[in-house]
Structure 1
């Protein structure tokens, strides 16, 4: 009985110390101050919506909306906890918002681990007229501001990891940009974008990689993501922070394609092998969005995942016109974890999923 009581007692204690939570609060203010100074304004969009970002591999939490006095078996309808505020924020951009940011909670079903929590904090922003280079510049300045501010936190004692990270982030050469193609060539000596499936399987075999359960042999993007996660990502951002750019066109998500249609105007930023954010030169064409939603739905259905809505309010808005803009979604918990020299996001959030 005593052992059970002890475990119960431990489960109610926060996993982040009060000192770290004070640091976190100050760094959140630094982020808001940065965007306020840059001319953005903060918005709040629905966490629960009839819309959801349609991505084959992002699984939303689904809630039932049941009007009072109605029968849940026949009168309910699905609402989704948002995996990202992307759709709603783009609706604001279409309404003329110009430059906006949002700092708040998002939810992704099934994602749990040292660097994942099903409920986490995301910083997402959009600015009309920015291209991908401008977006990367803003991202670099933001990360540098947060890392620099960390050193001035009252009571913060730098660790060897946080000090080394500071030196890399503040390197006068700035963040490096590496294309998806170049990253594979550097690590493997292979240009994977033109590889056959036999060659991709051969790379995995040569590196003694065991594919995860459910990875279909013909799922090219699934295999490329697998190789990227296992062989490429752990080395990214070990010298200077690294923007990985020019993703395959098949992995464009809601980014525009390059003129030759082979790559996407998309980047991810890595620090010490950890992905921090995902940025796009945003797709503005409604017909292409409709096609991509259909394709993501097809992929989900092929592997037995729950179908998601194919019509959305964003699609309706884009048919009327979305101005050229760029946007980025950054994982706040991961950035704070790295800034403070910690190893897991449970050290920077009070009550992770297991004890929420």
Structure 2
């Protein structure tokens, strides 16, 4: 990293902290490793201490425990870990900005994200696109299309990329089409919010029924200049429903040949008593924000010690 980039990064960190503190958010620090974690289907996790502790993929589990304890709206800039992800936009260890707003919903989370982007990046106003609208040019409704229809469409668009892929999971094929055909069209001229994902992709978000009768996730992602930058939810507060989703995620991990992740039992217990308040949460890859601010082409350019340069 160039020293000037390091200084720009430090300035962005200062502006980020000021942004949230001016709005009354509490800055917190949470563990990087713990005996439990939140299982997610597509995230590989690493362990330490002979497997007794899991390096956290985000501070979400601990943030929600603090919310249950009455901390109120909070934020953190910290390190997170995703096993073996290395590339232009990925590093196994990366910097994440995550925050939660108490008594706020999806629209509030999008509005705050937009204000942050305008503060840090002088970004233009967000453009909003539903998941259904984004798939419209492909001639399908992603909420109703069958697996075979999705498979045939993916094969017709990119046979070489898709032919080795086998799955009977609708969401897997939707993700293939999203990556191949939709994401390259998002956020070309301005940051673009993709929202109303299928309910089966809700992860830890609440679900609602949209105007056309489809159950959709209260989830959004922000794309700009070829990068996914933010992932936000109006959070699921029902501990029973959350446990069911996490058990499904672990089952999917096993089917993919990945290890089971220890369930976040303390969080699930605290979501029952005293309970998780209504809230919205957003996570942002801070390194990617620095890339946009400095014009860097890879995550390694904006980190003092990238994976390839580590001692």
The TM-score normalised by the length of structure 2 is 0.94
Name the residue aligned to 2:308.
Answer: 354
Choose from 118, 127, 132 the match for 1:181.
132
How far apart, in 1, do the equivalents of 2:16 and 2:176 lie?
32
Alignment correspondent of 2:62: 88
- Size of the alignment, in residue pairs? 306
**Inter-CA distance 210–291: structure 2 relative to 1 (3 Å threshold):** farther
CA distance in 2, matches of 1:146, 1:101: 16
The answer to whether the 8 Å contact 2:68/2:276 transfers is yes
1:102 pairs with 2:76:
yes
Q: Deviations over 1:57-82 (max 9, x none)?
A: 111111126xxxxxxxxxxx620111
1:290-344 deviation per Cα after TM superposition (whole angstroms, max 9, x unaligned) = 1001100111111211111135211111121110000000000001101212211
Change (3 A) 1:146 1:333: same
Q: State the distance in 1 between where 2:6 and 2:46 align.
A: 27
TM-score by length of 1: 0.83
2:40 pairs, out of 16, 30, 55, with 55
> Are the counterparts in 2 of residues 235 and 272 from structure 1 also a CA contact under 8 Å?
no
Q: Give the Å deviation of 1:126.
A: 0.3
1:127 corresponds to? 101
For 1:21-170, what aligned pairs fall within 5 Å after superposition?
A: 21-64=6-49, 78-148=52-122, 169-170=123-124
Distance in 1 separating the partners of 2:96 and 2:169: 29
For residues 28-75 of structure 1, what are the alpha-carbon distances to aligned partners after superposition, in whole Å with 9 as ceiling and x for unaligned? 11100100101101100110101212101111111126xxxxxxxxxx
Q: Is the 8 A contact 2:38 2:264 kept in 1?
A: no
Q: Matches of 1:203 and 1:27 in 2, distance apart? A: 42
Query: CA contact under 8 A between 2:150 and 2:173: conserved in structure 1?
Result: yes
Q: Is the 8 A contact 1:244 1:268 kept in 2?
A: yes
Residue from 215, 223, 228 that aligns with 1:270: 223
1:291 aligns with 244
Pick aligned residue for 2:270 from 293, 317, 326: 317
1:228 maps to which residue?
A: 178
Partner of 2:197: 247
Alignment match, 1:9: none
Q: How far apart in 2 are the matches of 1:114 and 1:227?
A: 21
CA distance in 1, matches of 2:169, 2:20: 40
Gaps of 5+ in 1: 1-15, 66-76, 149-168
Q: In 2, Cα distance between the equivalents of 1:273 and 1:302?
A: 31
Greater than 3 Å deviation, 4+ residue runs = 209-216
Contact residue 143 and residue 214 of structure 2 kept, 8 A: no
Larger Rg: 1
Is the CA contact (8 Å cut-off) linking 2:6 and 2:302 kept in structure 1?
A: yes
User: For the Cα contact (< 8 Å) 1:221–1:250, is it kept in 2?
Assistant: yes
Range 283-292 or range 235-244, more displaced: 235-244
What's the RMSD between the two structures over aligned residues?
1.5
For structure 2, list consecutive stretches of 5 or more residues without a partner in the other structure.
none
Q: Please list the CA deviations of residues 253-294 of structure 1 after superposition, one character each: whole Å capped at 9, or x if unmatched.
A: 100011467110000001112100100000000110110011
CA displacement at 1:17 relative to structure 2 = 0.5
Aligned to 1:161: none
